[in-house]
Structure 1
Amino acid sequence: MASSDTAPTIVAPTTWSLAHLSDLHLTDPLAGAGVRLRGKQWLGRISWRRRRIHIHQPAVLSALVTDLRAQSPAHVAISGDLVQLGLAQEFEQAADWLARFVPPAQLMLVPGNHEAYLPGSWPQGQDHWRPYLMETPQGEPSLQRRDKLLLIGLSSAVPTLAGLASGTLGSAQLQALETALAQGASEGLFRVVVLHHPAAPDLVGWRKRLTDQRQFAAVIARQGAGVILHGHAHRTTLSRLPGPHGPVAVIGAPSASALDTRPGRMAGYNLLRIEQLGRDWQMQLGRRTYRPHTRDFEWLEHCNLTSSG
C-alpha cells in the first residue's frame, strides 16, 4: 500500500472537447440614435432594419449559450462576426457579453468581416476585446496551446467596399501559419486552425470569398492540420482540403443566432471531441441545432472523422 504522503499520479487527458460557434451578430446597431455613421454603415443599418433584425434573435443565442454550458466543452472557438456595423458601442456590447460567457483562457476568438466593416473599425475594436486576444506581432496568427491541442487563430478581416464581404489573410500571415503548423507537427500536437472566411473553395460567392484561398490551401497541402474551422457562410458545411498525409476536414458553422428555417441555416454550433489513439487522431463531430417549437437545442448529426493531426 502506498504511503499517505505519496504524490498522486496525474494522468494526462487523451480526449479533448472543443465547441465552435460563429456569426453571433449579438449587438444592437440601432442603439444610440445619435451615433455618427459613415458610408457602408448606412447601408448596413438599412439592411439590419429591413431583414437581419428578424433573423438574428437574442433569445436564440441565449438558448444556445445555455445548451453549450450543459455540454461542458473544455475549450471554445468563435470564428468572428459578433458585431454588425463595426461601431465602437457594438464592441463594448460584445465585450460585456464575452465577460459573461467564458473566461479568456477558455476561448479562441478571431474577427470576421463585420469587425472590419470600415477602415479603423477592427483596430479600435481590439482595444475592447484585449482580454480575449493574444498579444501577437502585427499580421501573425494567434497561438494558444491547450495540453495537446494547438489552436491557431487567423484574421481574414479586412475592410471592403459596399456590397463586398471578402477576406484576405496576406502573405505574412500565411508564412507564419506555415511555421506554426510545422512546429506543431514536430511537437506531436493536434493543430486546430480557426478563421472566419471559408477555407475551402465554392462555399460562398466571389463577393464573400477568401481572396487568397488557393495560397492557404497550398500551405495545408504542405504542412497539414488536424481540422480547420470557419464561419461566414451562415450554414453547416463539411469540406476537405488535401494534406500531406490525407485530407483535412474543413468544418463550417451556421450563425449562432439565426432563426432561419432554410436547410443547414438554423442556429447551432459544432462540438468536436478529439481523441489521441497512439500516433493517430480521431474526431467526433457533433452538431447541435435550435428547435423553434421547443426553444431549445437537439443533436442534428454525429460523424467520425480521422485526422493526421
Structure 2
Amino acid sequence: MRLRLAHLSDPHLSPFPKPTLGELVSKRVFGYANWVKNRKGSLVQADLDRLIADMRAQNPNHYCVTGDLVNIATDAEVAAARAWLEKLGPAQRVSVVLGNHDAYVPGAACRAVQAYGSYIPGGNFPYARRLGAVALVGVSTAVATPPLVASGRVGGSQLSSLAALLDRHDDAYKVVMIHHPPDASLASGRRGLTDVTAVREVLAAGCADLVLHGHTHKPSLTFLETPRGRAAVIGVPSASSDGSSHPPGAWAMIDIDTDARTVHLTRRGRVNGGESIRTIETVEIEANAVA
C-alpha cells in the first residue's frame, strides 16, 4: 500500500483577533506581549498560504497537523482555526492534535476539542484513524502551564490508553502524531515533555513506526528503537515562519510504501530567502514490516 502524508505544524494563525481586556487578565497578557514584540513580524499568514498551496499541488492523501494552531487560545482565535481547518480539507482527510498554545489557559484545550470536532476523531485523545494498512494515532500533550512555561504532558491515563491502542493496531504501520517531541535532546525543561521517559517507553513497547511532531520550530530527524525496528521521529518548523527568528516555514511530505518497506521523507519550503517553495532535502528511511 502507498500513502502520502503532508505533515505541518505550529501555524500560529494570523491575523491575530484583538483580545478583550477580560481575556488578558491571565497568562494571555504575556503571550499577547510576545506576539506584538516578537512574533507578529516573523509568523506570516502569506508564507503559510504559499506552503499550503504547495502541499495541495503534491496531492497528499492526508494532512497531519501537529498542534499550535492558535497563539493565546481566545474564543475568536479558536473559531478562526476551525475555519482554517475547513479550508485545508474535509475531516476525513485532515487529522489534528493539540499543542501548548492550544491549551494556553485552563479550559482552552477542551474548547479546542469541541471546536475542531471531527478533525479530532472521536473527540478525545488518544485516537486512531485507519488509512488502509496505516494507523494514524493522535496524542495530546496540551496542558495549561504557568507564564513563561511551554512544557507538555501526556499523562498516565492517556498513556495507558495509548499503549492499548498501539497494541490493537499491531497489524498496521503505526504513525503517531504528537506536538512536543518525545526526545529530551530536542526540547527539555520549561519547553519539554515532562513525562518524556514514560512516553518513549510506551511508543517503543507499542512498536510505533513513525512519529510526527512540532513545537521546536525546527526541522529534525531522530530515531527511537522498538522491538519492530527503528521509528523515525520527524519534526518540522513553524509552517508560518518567515525565517527571521527560526528556520523558514516548511512541511514534510512522507511517502509510505508498506509493501516495499520504504518511507521517503521530502522536506519542502523556502530556501535562502526565496519566495518559491522547493525541495530542501530527501531522506530514504527503511520501513518496519507490517505484521
Q: Same fold (TM over 0.5)?
A: yes
Whether the 8 Å contact between 2:135 and 2:169 is mirrored in structure 1 is yes
Cα separation, 1, equivalents of 2:37 and 2:109:
25
Cα separation, 2, equivalents of 1:61 and 1:224:
33
Aligned sequence identity (%): 31
Equivalent residue for 1:283, pick from 258, 263, 268: 263
Whether the 8 Å contact between 2:180 and 2:193 is mirrored in structure 1 is yes
Residue identity in the other structure for 1:173: Q
Structure 1, residues 186-226: CA drift from partner, whole Å, max 9, x if none? xx211000010011221023111111110011112322111
Equivalent residue for 1:268, pick from 227, 250, 253: 250
Residue identity in the other structure for 2:203: I
Cα separation, 2, equivalents of 1:298 and 1:60:
13
Partner of residue 154, structure 1: 139
Q: Please show how residues 25-40 of structure 1 align to structure 2 within 5 Å.
A: 25-31=12-18, 36-40=23-27
Q: Greater Rg, structure 1 or structure 2?
A: 1
Whether the 8 Å contact between 1:112 and 1:197 is mirrored in structure 2 is yes
Q: Please show how residues 155-234 of structure 1 align to structure 2 within 5 Å.
A: 155-185=140-170, 188-234=171-217
Cα separation, 1, equivalents of 2:274 and 2:197:
42
SS at match of 1:248: strand
Partner of residue 124, structure 1: 111
**Do structure 1's residue 63 and structure 2's residue 50 form an aligned pair?**
yes
Deviation at 1:34, TM superposition (A): 5.5
Residue identity in the other structure for 2:16: P
What stretches of structure 1 move > 6 A for 4+ residues in a row? none
Aligned length: 289
CA 1:171–1:36 in 2, change beyond 3 Å: closer, same or farther?
Answer: closer
Whether the 8 Å contact between 1:28 and 1:84 is mirrored in structure 2 is no
Deviation at 1:246, TM superposition (A): 2.3
Equivalent residue for 1:72, pick from 51, 59, 64: 59
Cα separation, 2, equivalents of 1:28 and 1:40:
20
SS at match of 2:150: coil
Cα separation, 2, equivalents of 1:148 and 1:37:
46
Equivalent residue for 2:129, pick from 144, 150, 161: 144
Whether the 8 Å contact between 1:29 and 1:87 is mirrored in structure 2 is no
Cα separation, 2, equivalents of 1:176 and 1:230:
19
Unaligned runs of 5+ in 1: 1-13
TM-score, with structure 2 as normaliser: 0.94
Whether the 8 Å contact between 1:220 and 1:242 is mirrored in structure 2 is no
Structure 1, residues 154-210: CA drift from partner, whole Å, max 9, x if none? 01000000010000001111111111111211xx21100001001122102311111
CA 1:289–1:87 in 2, change beyond 3 Å: closer, same or farther?
Answer: same
Whether the 8 Å contact between 2:42 and 2:244 is mirrored in structure 1 is no
Deviation at 1:130, TM superposition (A): 1.1
Whether the 8 Å contact between 1:56 and 1:257 is mirrored in structure 2 is yes
Partner of residue 235, structure 2: 252
| RMSD over aligned Cα atoms | 1.7
Partner of residue 305, structure 1: 285
**Do structure 1's residue 89 and structure 2's residue 71 form an aligned pair?**
no
Deviation at 1:229, TM superposition (A): 0.5
Cα separation, 2, equivalents of 1:94 and 1:136:
16
Cα separation, 1, equivalents of 2:163 and 2:118:
26
Cα separation, 2, equivalents of 1:292 and 1:98:
29
TM-score, with structure 1 as normaliser: 0.89
Cα separation, 2, equivalents of 1:96 and 1:292:
32
CA 1:179–1:33 in 2, change beyond 3 Å: closer, same or farther?
Answer: closer
Whether the 8 Å contact between 2:48 and 2:240 is mirrored in structure 1 is yes
